[in-house]
Amino acid sequence: MNKQLLIILIFLGAVLVSIIVGPAQLTSEIFQLRISRVVLGIFAGGMLAFCGGILQGLFGNPLVEPYTLGSASGAALGGSIGILIFGTINPVFAFLGSLGVGFFVFTIARIEGGLFRDRLILAGVVMSFLCSSLVMITMLMGGRELYEILYLLMGYLGIIINSTNRIMIIVLIAVSIGLMVFLYRYHRELDIISQGIETAAGLGINIQKLSITIFLATSLLIGLIVSIVGAIGFVGLVIPHISKLLFGPKHLRNLPASFILGATFLLLADTASRVITVYELPVGVVTSLVGVPFFIYLYRR
Partner 1 sequence: MEISEQLRKICTTSLIFVLCISYLVCHCNRAKETTDYRIVSLSPAMTEILFALGSGNNIVGVTTFCDYPEEAKKIYKIGDFSNPSVERIVGLKPNLVILNLPEQMRIKKQLERLKINIFVSSPSSLDEVYEEITEIGKIVKREHNADSLVNYMRTNIVPVENKKKTNVYIELSPRPIVTIGKHSFLNELLELAGAGNVFADLNKDYPVVSQEEIIKRNPEIIILLHPENIEQRTGWGTIAAVKNKRVYADINQDYIMRPAPRLVKGFKELKRIILE
* Residues binding partner 1 (CB under 8 A): 22-25, 27, 29-30, 32-34, 36, 87-89, 140-144, 146-148, 151, 156, 158-164, 166, 274, 278-280, 282
Do 224 and 172 form a contact (C-beta atoms < 8 A)? yes
Cα separation, 36 vs 206, whole angstroms:
41
CB of 207 to partner 1, least distance (A): 41
Cα separation, 181 vs 295, whole angstroms:
28
Residue 263 — φ and ψ, nearest 5°?
-60, -45
Q: How many CA atoms lie within 13 A of 41 on its CB side?
A: 33
Residue 203 DSSP code: T
Nearer of residues 52 and 158 to partner 1, judged by Cβ:
158
Nearer of residues 117 and 274 to partner 1, judged by Cβ:
274
CB of 142 to partner 1, least distance (A): 8
CB of 240 to partner 1, least distance (A): 29
Nearer of residues 147 and 294 to partner 1, judged by Cβ:
147
Nearer of residues 1 and 140 to partner 1, judged by Cβ:
140
Closest by CA position to 243, among listed 50, 18, 11? 50
Nearer of residues 30 and 210 to partner 1, judged by Cβ:
30
Sign of the CA dihedral with 2 first, then 192, 184, and 226 last: positive
